[in-house]
Amino acid sequence: MTKIDINGAGLAYDDAGSGTVVVLLHAGIADRRMWRSQVPALAERHRVLALDLRGYGESELPPAPFTHHDDVVGLLDALGVDRAALVGCSFGGRVAVDTALAHPERITAVALFGAPVSGTEWSEETEQVWEDLVGDVDPADLAATAAGEVRFWVVGPTRRPEDVDPGLIRFAEEMDRLALAAEQALSAVEVGELDPPAIDRLGDLGMPVLTAAGADDLADIRRLADRIADEAPHGTRLPDIPDAAHLLPLERPDAVNAALLDFLPAR
């Protein structure tokens, strides 16, 4: 792990391999450890930067307002990297799209796994799934909240917990407890948003864009993967990956690695 000062606070990241640069952006219920299978695979031909987004994992909160998408470019600037490809899962995908729209000259390609985008409105169907699977949880109880979020996102609406690797569930709950604490801390800091948001600007994504979703993820997420690929001028939609929900890079690493190695520019 390396930590570098960006806007007055340290951002933590792993740096592996050499070649064209790929930045990995984690889900909001996770941290950079979720890319444990992608870093060694991609580092065989790329320089891979797995970043803890601001406040998550080992990254620090800044003393002043910030935006996640500007942090990504701040890291590139600090490392002397002109251009990079972005790979994002879930919230990390949202950050990737915002970065590509805010700084298009810096981004060569975007790969998205189970990604919403800024400005997304969840359907009543998704809200009902939450009620059915999780219900009311005391937000102060981080363990119970993490268990509920992992049931919702990692197991997904069409599977039972016993259908999923228990090691994956334990690891996801561990990461999510830390992520929930990070979100509580972030609530005391002014976090800027892309304006206007990305949902109506997908046609401005001029670089190659790859989207994918798990077959057991929320219908909203799978529809968003369709929409992003349809509206991005150079969008590609992978078929839904079977027997997988929201954290595809952790649950189906071989499929994700193969897709990324096929998609990411080697030079």
180 with 202, same domain: the answer is no
Q: Could you list the residue range(s) of the whole structural domain that residue 131 is in?
A: 124-185
Q: Given this model, what pLDDT does residue 169 score? A: 95
The span from the CA of 90 to the CA of 67, in Å, is 17
Q: Given this model, what pLDDT does residue 19 score? A: 95
Phi-psi region at 81: left, alpha or beta (left = phi > 0; alpha = psi -120 to 50): beta
Name the DSSP class of 7: T
As a whole-number percent, the residues of the chain with pLDDT over 70 amount to: 100
With a cut of 50, list the residues of the chain below it in pLDDT.
none
Name the DSSP class of 233: T
CB 250 within 8 A of CB 6: no
53 with 12, same domain: the answer is yes
61 with 112, same domain: the answer is yes
| Phi/psi at 56 (5° precision) | -95, 160
CB 81 within 8 A of CB 13: no
Name the DSSP class of 104: G
157 with 243, same domain: the answer is no
Among residues 167, 185, 203, which one ends one of the domains?
Answer: 185
Among residues 150, 167, 185, which one ends one of the domains?
Answer: 185
91 with 24, same domain: the answer is yes
3-state SS, residue 128:
helix
pLDDT, one tens digit per residue, over 44-61 is 999 999 999 998 999 988
Number of structural domains in the chain: 2
91-102 helix and 68-78 helix, angle to the nearest 10 degrees: 70
Cα dist from 220 to 90, 117, 123, 217, whole Å: 12, 11, 7, 8
Task: For residue 3, give the H/E element and its range.
Answer: strand 2-6
28 with 110, same domain: the answer is yes
- What mean pLDDT, rounded, does the chain reach? 93
CB 24 within 8 A of CB 51: yes
166 with 200, same domain: the answer is no
Name the DSSP class of 155: I
107 with 133, same domain: the answer is no
Q: Given this model, what pLDDT does residue 267 score? A: 66
Q: How buried is 219 (Cβ within 10 angstroms: 0-12 exposed, 13-18 middle, 19+ buried)?
A: middle
Q: Given this model, what pLDDT does residue 187 score? A: 81
CB 53 within 8 A of CB 189: no
Q: Given this model, what pLDDT does residue 136 score? A: 78
Q: How far is C-alpha 161 from the geometric centre of its chain's CA atoms?
A: 23
Q: Given this model, what pLDDT does residue 25 score? A: 98
pLDDT, one tens digit per residue, over 73-109 is 999 999 999 999 999 999 999 999 999 999 999 999 9
CB 71 within 8 A of CB 5: no
